[in-house]
Amino acid sequence: MLNLCDPKTIRQVMDMFGLNFKKEFGQNFLTDNMTVEDIADACNDDKDITVVEIGPGIGCMTRELCERYSRVVAFEIDSGLIPVLKYTLDEYKNVTVLNQDIMTADLESVLAPYFEMGKVAVCANLPYYITTPILMKLIESKLPFDSITVMVQAEVAERLAAGAGNKNCGAITAAIDYYGHAELLFTVNADRFMPPPKVNSSVVRIDLWKDKPVVPIDEELFFKTVKAAFEQRRKTLPNSLMTGFSEISKERLTELIISCGHRPDVRGEKLSVRDFCTLSDAIYHELNK
């Protein structure tokens, strides 16, 4: 069996199908078997599940997922890789490869039959150019994914798993914390990829809440509050919120922030998901009084 992590083999397979690495699709293929196995192992504790892979490339991780889990559904945007995957995954009967852009794919209908069969988890070495949009699409889809295990740029991984009060945290941290619990698993050096990216990568696993521990009155307003709080990172919270809620005076916003138990010069990064819920509820009452 071909070793799809071996750089020479990767080159040969690409040449065989007349392909080159496409930068515009973030094609940095893993060249380390151990890393691929570790990611596949980390994906989920249950084996009788469906795993959704985003960007199978030439199929190195897809194979490991097929070995470990009952079913694999892989979305690959690059039509040039579809015949390659047919060749490299030929022996696996539990994989479905879809030539679709994950950003435009109708996940609800494509994945409906798999959710009927049981648990569904996501596992991917994500293309860097759209890491955050992909993660937001997955979690905002409201599909009941069990877990999302992804390799992303190390710096993004730190932000995803930062938790409140950490200098690395941002709007995405609050969004992820709202939908689940993120854990940073391990870091992978840039030299473990072909071609090597400019930065190191890390693997993060997000276990999605079955029941969210905190729920705001108005979810849209909650996300608007989070976005406004982080859009102007250097500003204090009353000033940042003014950009999102111009209909409320700065004095009133300051009063609301104090009434939620914060100092008026607090910055967004100090607030937990629970704090953001309380604050967006206060704003909700202010807007609806």
- Contact residues for ligand SAM (CB under 6 A)? 25-30, 54-57, 60-61, 75-78, 101-103, 125, 127, 130
Please, what is the minimum distance in Å from the beta carbon of residue 136 to ligand SAM?
13
Please, what is the minimum distance in Å from the beta carbon of residue 72 to ligand SAM?
12
Please, what is the minimum distance in Å from the beta carbon of residue 54 to ligand SAM?
5
Pairing label, strands 95-98, 147-153: unpaired
Nearest CB to ligand SAM, comparing residues 157 and 169: 157
Please, what is the minimum distance in Å from the beta carbon of residue 192 to ligand SAM?
10
> What is the number of residues in the chain?
289
Please, what is the minimum distance in Å from the beta carbon of residue 167 to ligand SAM?
27
12-19, long-range: CB < 8 A, 24+ apart:
13/58, 13/84, 13/87, 13/88, 14/58, 14/84, 17/80, 17/83, 17/84, 17/87, 18/80, 19/80, 19/81, 19/84
Phi, psi of 278 (to 5 degrees): -60, -45
Please, what is the minimum distance in Å from the beta carbon of residue 133 to ligand SAM?
9
Q: Which residue is nearest to ligand SAM (CB)?
A: 55
Nearest CB to ligand SAM, comparing residues 199 and 287: 199
How far apart, in whole angstroms, are the C-alpha atoms of residue 124 and residue 35?
12
Nearest CB to ligand SAM, comparing residues 58 and 206: 58
Nearest CB to ligand SAM, comparing residues 123 and 266: 123
How far apart, in whole angstroms, are the C-alpha atoms of residue 79 and residue 188?
28
How far apart, in whole angstroms, are the C-alpha atoms of residue 270 and residue 173?
12
Nearest CB to ligand SAM, comparing residues 61 and 172: 61
How far apart, in whole angstroms, are the C-alpha atoms of residue 273 and residue 177?
6
Please, what is the minimum distance in Å from the beta carbon of residue 9 to ligand SAM?
12
Nearest CB to ligand SAM, comparing residues 26 and 163: 26
Encode burial over 130-159: b for 16+ CB neighbours within 10 A, e otherwise: bbbebbbbbbeeebebbbbbbbbbbebbbb
Element (H, E) at 30: strand 29-30
Per the structure block, which two tokens stand in for 200? Answer: 């190191």
Please, what is the minimum distance in Å from the beta carbon of residue 60 to ligand SAM?
5
97 forms beta bridges with 74
Nearest CB to ligand SAM, comparing residues 69 and 276: 69
How far apart, in whole angstroms, are the C-alpha atoms of residue 221 and residue 245?
10
Pairing label, strands 180-188, 201-208: antiparallel
Report the Cα 9 to chain-centroid distance in Å.
29
Nearest CB to ligand SAM, comparing residues 88 and 280: 88
